[in-house]
Structure 1
């Protein structure tokens, strides 16, 4: 039901109009003057406001101006009623932000026709806004898709004039463009709501210093923020360029403070370092307007804007945070502290632009006094813009990744076809497929190193658990750098897709070597390396829970690395809450290598992995598993109660070590992997 607020001081007119509208099915609220009408509008958030002009206290003109000053009522339709049917009054009303003007006296038909026309106009505006939002989201999706595919977008999405826009003004100004570096890599490791939360918090941190320094026409473009600094009548005495330089440094400082929140909010999630780049350029800027005078969106465009965006993009290559053109330096005045300098090629009429790294600003009293009024009345408007942009960006970046991962499944690797790329990796062929996971061989483009890409498409009832376990593999292992733990290079996920880029083992897993037979020296070499890997992962609070020959990989030099952390468990409380998918009493792991506590669904710890390593050591020394059975229940029972089998006579010296590794009670085993290594050293010293 359409909500209408009627503001009229004449009782007879107010009651008559309210009765007509209610009979037509409108939800009508009333107020007797402008002050009461403004309060009522804030309370009921009407779709339409119909207001008389001549009222005591706040008249209709003042009411319209007050409504238009609040972002909440930017698209609220306003119709003014008056007996003064003259051009001057109409111009004043329209200038204040009214959408229509109805002269008294009017008939029922005239009132309803005028209201119907206004609502159709409002529908067209909403449709135009929705279409613009969809177009912008699609532009962002394409830009992120190009980034995910390893390409640099030819044009920064959102810097073009929207369809139907008209030039509002052309002015000399300095443009600030800031952006989050490697945003797609960061966004891939969070879900959509977390991406939006991150952007909202980041933009709220960085918008404040921009506004405080007099930044205008703020525009949020994906993970980027753009602002224009220009001369304004009665504005700050300092030059726009100087204010832009100061704002850029303040944004860099706000970002540093934002990192603290980020580290706390997403602790242990393996996020890449958070960094931004800022570009500054001065020149002529065109301000385009989209919409009516009352409801308009302004967009800065032109070569100056594009150059600022290009300088921001170059900040990563240069290793600078703030990149400013020589035009900015010339206009910023004394005290700007610079670092390195170079020239950059920029598309458009600028050609080559001399740029410098901005590292500081020696401020004066005038610098500290400017621009403080710029924040007045903007907080709610900026907050709403940030929320809308953040939601759009989160959907766009996740949608781009989902589309990219979906195309991999049916891709045919034909000779001569253009290579398929994903985040700096060039896929060469599919090497395995099973269930929901596709496995590809790829090459890391910057150094030619072969890697494995595991891509999961999670569907059905178990999709959430499978996806969580897949993501967990990266989250846990990304903290660990050790030669005896698989290296994981990158990871990303959407609501139903995920990928992991990990170390490639051309020789495969330990099972192939075990089948061929292993001598004592090689067995002890492998056990030591696995124990060293376990010592490291346990020190990071991680329990593997599924140690077996298939999860121990062989490198070309014969060294081994522990892999497949899909059912691993973190002993850290925050990770248990977020990542562990199993509950107390559930059996997790491969039955032949399960510890007794895993077999019974009991509490596990680091010694659980040592038990599994004991089973593997027995199998490597003898060529057969210590326990086997015809049913799963009987196999689990033997883990719980059967004694450890005796090793062959030639390995009898290791029997005591094996029995301690495979003790039924966790507290009777070696307390740590390091203690196991010390025990092996002791055995070797006695026998050697």
Structure 2
């Protein structure tokens, strides 16, 4: 299934693997390279930042240098084994509170007791599945936060770095407040516009760090595309400009986060379709302008104070007048869990690709799980290309037709436009408009 040559992953703040505006860091210590690589892939697919070590000594050095939010460690390793690693971590004031989970085939009661006595938080017995791994990881993270550790140690270090960086952006007319996140080519800050006090999201490209002119071209392209769109369900853009060393875009800031955070607390099917309805209207507008977003996902659907939804992040969007194929041959742009079959195969995309992404989001909101999951990226992309999504449970059967049309493998057989989705939803479930009105009148 040699599908992947290059993949542009785009996780961001608001996804479950982020704490506030900082991506959570997990250290994997495992001497068996195949296991270490597989665990790392699973975690990265969920949006975590991952450090890997082949033995306890290397793991200890990495833990002290980076103070991760969680350590996953084998027991039997050369140089320094897992028990010795844990003992050293617990003896160091800087690392004594790090959450620690053993990955081990040694699951006898005496072995588990020894680990727990040294301070392990949990044990995962080998062999383990992807779901077992992620269940243990999320449980430990939630437990850590529930105990009142409001900022994990790794995030605390990053917060200090943000404070330093935030004071040095140097964009005239804006007072930088804090760093919100960063991507492959730019950083985003919360800033206050000096002439009226409006809080904005300030996206900055440091041209000194990027000698490749394609970064600047893509950055300018993002502004040029967003500037064309004037729609209530698309983020507003206020300004852009250049200094001697930077390019910047000033845009709408969303203090209420993204729809993924809302999904975590649960959405009814009608509430889910009210969200999809707004995104469909946004897509209808941008597609009419010849723009393909290429990265529609929950992390890019932001919540306003009035409850409405706004689509953000046109960083990898393309205009139909450009060659959509100009992306490097074999490069796959987007987010793996929400990727259309044609994106997953590295083929040219169209408006139908955004429709598929929206269908995945609807499926996840209704069922509270994604249609496809896999332990490796290659298998996940294969499923998008070749496998039908699992049918909805009987209690959600009324939405099956909507899902089938949105997630059809053939782009020509999906909904023809965002407006077509909107019309289908309003025609089939008129109460959605009532729910939408209630959502956006808060």
Fold shared, TM-score > 0.5 on shorter chain: yes
Structure 1 residue aligned with 2:195: 446
Structure 1 residue aligned with 2:230: 481
Question: Which residues of 2 match residues 519-598 of structure 1 at below 5 A?
Answer: 519-572=268-321, 576=322, 582-583=327-328, 585-598=330-343
Structure 1 residue aligned with 2:378: 633
1:435 deviation in Å?
6.1
> How large is the Cα RMSD of the aligned pairs?
2.8
Using a 3 Å threshold, how does the CA distance of structure 1 residues 643 and 433 change in structure 2: closer, same or farther?
closer
1:496 deviation in Å?
5.9
- Name which of 404, 409, 413 aligns with 1:659: 404
Q: Secondary structure at the match of 2:332?
A: coil
1:472 deviation in Å?
1.8
Structure 1 residue aligned with 2:358: 613
1:551 deviation in Å?
0.8
Structure 1 residue aligned with 2:151: none
Distance in 2 (alpha carbons) for counterparts of 1:409 and 1:473: 27
1:619 deviation in Å?
0.5
Question: Which residues of 2 match residues 218-233 of structure 1 at below 5 A?
Answer: none
Q: Check the 8 A contact 2:163/2:178 in 1, yes or no.
A: no
Structure 1 or 2: more strand by fraction: 1
**For structure 2, which runs of at least 5 residues remain unmatched after alignment?**
1-161, 435-442
Structure 2 residue aligned with 1:684: 429
Q: Check the 8 A contact 1:471/1:493 in 2, yes or no.
A: no
Structure 1 residue aligned with 2:267: 518
Q: Check the 8 A contact 2:338/2:357 in 1, yes or no.
A: yes
Using a 3 Å threshold, how does the CA distance of structure 1 residues 595 and 456 change in structure 2: closer, same or farther?
same
1:618 deviation in Å?
0.4
Structure 1 residue aligned with 2:155: none
1:686 deviation in Å?
10
Using a 3 Å threshold, how does the CA distance of structure 1 residues 585 and 630 change in structure 2: closer, same or farther?
same
Question: Which residues of 2 match residues 87-486 of structure 1 at below 5 A?
Answer: 413=167, 422-432=171-181, 437-458=186-207, 463-486=212-235
Pair member with larger Rg: 1
* Cα offsets for 1:426-479 (capped at 9, x unmatched): 333334456653332222233322101121224567743333222221110111
Q: Check the 8 A contact 1:570/1:580 in 2, yes or no.
A: no
State the 4+ residue runs in structure 1 displaced beyond 6 angstroms: none
TM-score of the superposed pair, with normalisation by structure 2: 0.57
* Cα offsets for 1:563-611 (capped at 9, x unmatched): 0111001012xxx26x985145431111111111111122211111000
Structure 1 residue aligned with 2:255: 506
Q: Check the 8 A contact 1:584/1:603 in 2, yes or no.
A: no
Distance in 2 (alpha carbons) for counterparts of 1:638 and 1:553: 28
Using a 3 Å threshold, how does the CA distance of structure 1 residues 516 and 412 change in structure 2: closer, same or farther?
closer
Distance in 2 (alpha carbons) for counterparts of 1:525 and 1:686: 10
Q: Check the 8 A contact 2:325/2:348 in 1, yes or no.
A: no
Q: Secondary structure at the match of 1:615?
A: helix
**For structure 1, which runs of at least 5 residues remain unmatched after alignment?**
1-407, 414-418
Structure 2 residue aligned with 1:402: none
Structure 2 residue aligned with 1:345: none
Using a 3 Å threshold, how does the CA distance of structure 1 residues 630 and 420 change in structure 2: closer, same or farther?
closer
* Cα offsets for 1:472-529 (capped at 9, x unmatched): 2111011111110011111224686321111100011111111221112210110000
Distance in 1 (alpha carbons) for counterparts of 2:381 and 2:225: 28
Distance in 2 (alpha carbons) for counterparts of 1:428 and 1:580: 39
Q: Check the 8 A contact 1:569/1:580 in 2, yes or no.
A: no
Distance in 2 (alpha carbons) for counterparts of 1:653 and 1:458: 51
1:412 deviation in Å?
6.5
1:556 deviation in Å?
1.0
